[in-house]
Amino acid sequence: MITHEVLRPPALRPGDTVLLVSPSGPTRPERVARGIELLTSWGLRPVPAPNAYARRGYLAGADELRAADLNAAFADPAVRGIICTRGGYGAQRMVDAIDMAAVRRDPKVVAGFSDITALQFALWRGARLAGVHGPGAAWRDERTTLDSALSLHAVLTTTEPVTVAARDGEETFRVRVPGRAGGRLLGGNLCLIMASVGTVDMPDLTGAVLLLEEVQEPPYKIDRMLTHLRRAGVLAGLAAVAVGQFTECTDGWAVDVADVLTDRLGDLGVPVLGGLPIGHGVGQLTVPVGTEAVLDADAGTLTVAPAVR
């Protein structure tokens, strides 16, 4: 039975074990070493899952192995948090095998982004588990800066609301429709949102603040995805749109990604705020998903209630 009450897992504390899982694409130990170092410096005990470094082509091992790592993490009372190593592709292939009863019995914080949007959607559908949209354990200091580390640490370990301000210099900074509105923050990577339409995991976005971010998709593909969401009725009842980083979303045409976002989102009749440093870009910040948020396009801020308790 799916509860309608949001499950907010306990905040991580020093000494807690966090399992590093790879639900999507493959990674290597040397890519995760910096993330392990960072998590350890916070007093946490990061442990790679048995199949964290498995590989089957573009997948981090067989679907059964990736699901088994997640299910083992949710079933083990000694594991208090789950941090995905990276995105890539593959989460949608195994989310139907997640033991949602175990998730509901002992909710744990799950952090990741990009393809992990599919996992966050599944956990929301199956258990109403609030999640964390933030960097994975395959940490890159050149992209995820000190601010990124501090932001992830705060969201995982404190129960304070999170406020992210629009940042001049982001590709989407000029995407803005004035106004202020509140609702539950849902969403993440645009490709995965579109790929979820028609599945059981696609959340009802009525009254929600929709978070959007993307990487390496040209403007015409952004247009195509947003147009599909519009035609499918997905954007009809939104409260607001929070536009994160659209990194390397360029091509040779004169129309850029900010133009496309303004065109496809600007007439929805709700506040829209671009320039939020959430996504695949340098200085990526972390936000809870599944909790209440207030988007203030006039002030240039997104404020989100904590994912943990």
- Which tens digit of pLDDT belongs to each residue from 83-112? 999 999 999 999 999 999 999 999 999 999
Q: Where are the beta strands (DSSP E) in the chain?
A: 17-21, 45-48, 79-84, 109-112, 131-133, 162-165, 176-177, 180-189, 209-215, 240-247, 272-273, 287-289, 292-296, 301-304
Q: Which residues contact 254 (CB under 8 A, 6 or more apart)?
A: none
Q: Which residues contact 57 (CB under 8 A, 6 or more apart)?
A: none
Residues of the chain with pLDDT under 70: 1-4
Q: Tokens standing for 1?
A: 């039975």
Is-catalytic flag, 280? Answer: yes
Q: Which of 170, 171, 213, 217 is catalytic?
A: 213
Phi, psi of 292 (to 5 degrees): -70, 145
Burial letters 180-204, b for 16+ CB under 10 A, else e: ebbbbbbbbbbbbbbbbeeeebbbe
Q: Which residues contact 296 (CB under 8 A, 6 or more apart)?
A: 180, 271, 273, 302, 303
Is-catalytic flag, 171? Answer: no
Distance CA 60, CA 53 (A): 7
pLDDT for 4 equals 66
User: Of the candidates 199, 291, 217, 298, which has an alpha carbon nearest to the alpha carbon of residue 260?
Assistant: 217
pLDDT for 2 equals 46
Mind listing the domains of the chain with CATH numbers? 17-157 (3.40.50.10740), 162-304 (3.50.30.60)
Query: Do residues 172 and 250 touch, judged by C-beta distance below 8 A?
Result: no
Q: Which of 22, 133, 148, 280 is catalytic?
A: 280
The model carries a pTM of 0.97
pLDDT for 230 equals 98
Eight-state DSSP code of residue 40: H
Is-catalytic flag, 4? Answer: no
Q: Which of 114, 148, 151, 196 is catalytic?
A: 114
pLDDT for 62 equals 98
User: Of the candidates 75, 73, 155, which has an alpha carbon nearest to the alpha carbon of residue 113?
Assistant: 155
- Cα–Cα distances in Å, from 212 out to 8, 52, 193, 245, 304? 22, 27, 9, 8, 15
Helix (H, G, I), strand (E, B) or coil at 285: coil
Q: Tokens standing for 254?
A: 């004169």
pLDDT for 245 equals 98
Eight-state DSSP code of residue 253: S
Pairing of strands 209-215, 176-177: unpaired
Distance CA 241, CA 185 (A): 9
